[in-house]
């Protein structure tokens, strides 16, 4: 006869205090993400899953997070986030649930003159929560590396201008589907130049001259992106950050804007 193992998690805890979030962190897991041109794209995610825990229960049943994840294996896309959260609340008898999914996303990009194609990688993330009143909230994050050329350096120097790789982070909450690809296009259009994995000499000439003709402070970039997101429609709120890996300094410079849209 099987031994009955006691369920310590169900005991009453020493201190009856509600816990905001309890769960599992940094699970490496293969998922699929909707892709504007190729239907779905397989990738490898880092996933964290949390629920709330009422003061009267000592512990949550951590293994259930994995059982839920495994049920949807190979088919974890942004479309099932809400039902995943509902399952988490049900299986773990929780009042609220949260999930964070970070992953690299690949886009085939053409070099500006030669037209040669190559893959570019963008770190992305989906973040979703269901709260006590069953309100579902979701936002996504896209990190877009770009080139920014300093307007001050260009203006005051007889020739040349310092420029550098910048990471622009955009977080968007929207009720309707917005393609990752469209946000990347919007961001790249606001920087001195997009980045490419593969550039031939004629492309490098084009990128260099374009960047020199389009100098941007870190402040200019976040403002121009904010201006365009304000006009994008379908957005509830957004946050824009940009961090320049300054080529003349050993530290970075940074700017950010966070806004609630009236639309």
Q: Which of residues 182-221 bind its own copies (CB under 8 A)?
A: 193, 195-202, 204-205, 207-209, 211-212, 217-220
Q: Which of 34, 131, 173, 254 binds its own copies (CB under 8 A)?
A: 254
Is 261 a binding residue for its own copies by CB under 8 A? The answer is: no
Cβ(114)–Cβ(134) below 8 Å: no
Q: Which two tokens stand for residue 52?
A: 């709330």
Q: Which stretch binds its own copies (CB under 8 A): 78-86, 87-95, 113-121, 170-178?
A: 113-121
In whole angstroms, give the CA distance from residue 246 to residue 243: 9
Q: How far is CA 240 from CA 52, 67, 104, 232, in A?
A: 29, 36, 19, 14
Report the residue count for the chain: 263
Burial classification of residue 161, based on how many CB atoms lie within 10 Å of its CB (0-12 exposed, 13-18 middle, 19 or more buried) = middle
Give 31: exposed, middle or buried? Use CB within 10 Å, 0-12, 13-18, 19+.
buried
What are the residues facing 120 on neighbouring strands?
107
Q: Which of residues 216-245 bind its own copies (CB under 8 A)?
A: 217-220, 222-224, 226-227, 243, 245
29 near its own copies, judged by CB under 8 A: yes
Segment 132-161, which members bind its own copies (CB under 8 A)? 145, 147, 149, 151-153, 155-161
Exactly one of 117, 185, 233, 263 binds its own copies (CB under 8 A); that residue is 117
Contact of 72 with 80, CB cutoff 8 Å: yes
121 interacts with its own copies by CB under 8 A: yes
Binding of residue 118 to its own copies (CB under 8 A)? yes
Residues in contact with its own copies, total (CB under 8 A)? 103
What is the closest distance, in whole angstroms, from the C-beta atom of residue 139 to its own copies in the complex? 17
């Amino acid at each position: 006869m099987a031994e009955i193992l006691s369920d310590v998690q169900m005991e009453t805890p020493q201190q009856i205090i509600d816990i905001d979030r309890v769960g599992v962190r940094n699970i490496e897991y293969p998922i699929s993400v909707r892709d504007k041109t190729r239907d779905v794209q397989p990738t490898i995610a880092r996933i964290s899953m949390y629920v709330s825990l009422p003061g009267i229960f000592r512990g949550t049943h951590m293994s259930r997070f994995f059982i839920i994840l495994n049920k949807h294996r190979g088919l974890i896309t942004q479309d099932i986030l809400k039902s995943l959260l509902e399952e988490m609340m049900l299986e773990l008898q929780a009042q609220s649930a949260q999930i964070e999914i970070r992953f690299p996303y690949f886009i085939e990009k053409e070099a500006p003159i030669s037209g040669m194609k190559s893959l570019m990688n963008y770190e992305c993330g989906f973040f979703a929560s269901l709260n006590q009143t069953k309100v579902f909230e979701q936002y996504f994050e896209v990190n877009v590396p770009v080139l920014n050329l300093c307007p001050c350096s260009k203006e005051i120097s007889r020739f040349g201008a310092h420029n550098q790789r910048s990471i622009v982070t955009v977080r968007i909450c929207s009720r309707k589907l917005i393609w990752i690809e469209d946000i990347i296009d919007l961001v790249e259009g606001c920087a001195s130049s997009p980045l490419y994995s593969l550039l031939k000499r004629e492309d490098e000439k084009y990128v260099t001259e374009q960047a020199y003709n389009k100098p941007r402070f870190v402040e200019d970039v976040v403002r121009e992106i904010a201006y365009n997101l304000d006009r994008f429609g379908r957005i509830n709120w957004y946050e824009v950050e940009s961090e320049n890996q300054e080529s003349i300094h050993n530290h970075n410079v940074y700017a950010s804007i966070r806004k609630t849209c009236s639309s």
